[in-house]
Homo-oligomer: A and B are copies of this chain.
Amino acid sequence: MNNEASRDKFKSYLSTKGLRVTNQRLAIFEAAFAQKEHFTAEELLDFARDIDDSVSRATVYRTLPIMIESSLVREVDIGKNLKYYLPNTDNNTQVAQIICTDCDKIFEINAPFMEWYGNSVSTKLGLTPVSQRLQVNAHCNSFRQHGTCKNRPH
């Protein structure tokens, strides 16, 4: 799904929910979808303000749940009291995150094999799986060998 399709999806999601299509919401959307890497709420505020400097922090925090609810953005919690976000270009929910503990970079890779696992484990407990995530904390090999991480800090 490209950006224009995503933008349309966002607008129609807003309309369907009786929410208004405002410049601020659009600026936040554009800012999010211009990102190639994970970003924080605060970073999103900065990016959005580059597009429309009237965007406030509150609106960013009020818009993020809308974009998450509409599956346009995914939320990634790596256990750091700080949430990361990522535009959800494909609609994939079976994703594993590998976090480099040296540079904090988050890699994502498809993990379709995860699905059967979640199902088998949940049904044992009388639960219906909704989503699942595999998170791996790992050391960067280049860091251990050369004392530096080839990936820039987040």
- Interface of A toward B, CB cutoff 8 Å: 75, 77, 79, 81, 83, 96, 98, 100-101, 107, 109, 111, 113-114, 117-118, 121-122, 124-142, 144
Contact = CB atoms under 8 A, between A and B. Distances in A.
A132 B134 CA distance: 7
- Specify how many copies of this chain sit in the oligomer: 2
B107 A136 contact: no
Contacts of A140: 126-127
Given A79-B77, A113-B117, A127-B100, A122 B138 contact: yes
A127 B139 contact: yes
A83 B81 CA distance: 9
CB-CB nearest 6 A-B residue pairs: A127-B138, A77-B79, A132-B136, A118-B136, A130-B137, A122-B138
Contacts of A111: 117, 121
Contact of A122 (B131, B133, B136): B136
Given A98-B125, A127-B138, A132-B136, 12 more contacts: A77-B77, A77-B79, A98-B121, A98-B127, A98-B129, A113-B117, A117-B134, A118-B134, A122-B138, A125-B138, A130-B137, A134-B135
A142 B126 contact: yes
B135 A135 contact: yes
Contacts of A139: 127-128, 130
A132 B137 contact: yes
